[in-house]
């Protein structure tokens, strides 16, 4: 998601999406899976602090990672966009 005053940050994220998609397309026929997880706001010490109501927590992201790792051998989950169900009201 693009954000004002964060053009460099946003460009790096969009670049990673393109890199991941290209790498996935190049490697999938060799049986190599490439996936990207795009979490929304996560309550961590890095950002807003732990236990912020309405934000994702690290466990939510970990479960998304596990869904990719545990996917059926012939299934490719290439992207997960993970957002809080009830984000904080602004």
Report the pLDDT averaged over residues 49-78.
Answer: 91
- DSSP per-residue string spanning the chain: ---TT-HHHHHHHHHHHHHHHHHHHHHGGGT----EEEE--B-STTTT-SS-TTSB-HHHHHHHHHHHHTS-TT----EEEE--SSPPP-
Instruction: Between 15 and 86, name the one with better pLDDT.
Output: 15
pTM of the model: 0.80
Q: What is the pLDDT of residues 4-61, one digit of tens each?
A: 999 999 999 999 999 999 999 999 999 999 999 999 888 887 766 667 788 898 899 9
């Amino acid at each position: 998601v693009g954000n004002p005053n964060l053009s460099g940050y946003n460009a790096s994220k969009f670049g990673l999406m393109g890199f991941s998609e290209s790498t996935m397309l190049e490697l999938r026929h060799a049986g190599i899976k490439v996936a990207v997880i795009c979490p929304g706001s996560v309550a961590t010490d890095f950002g807003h602090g732990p236990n912020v109501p309405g934000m994702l927590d690290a466990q939510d992201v970990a479960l998304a990672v596990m869904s990719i790792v545990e996917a059926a051998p012939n299934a490719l989950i290439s992207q997960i966009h993970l957002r809080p169900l009830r984000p904080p009201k602004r």
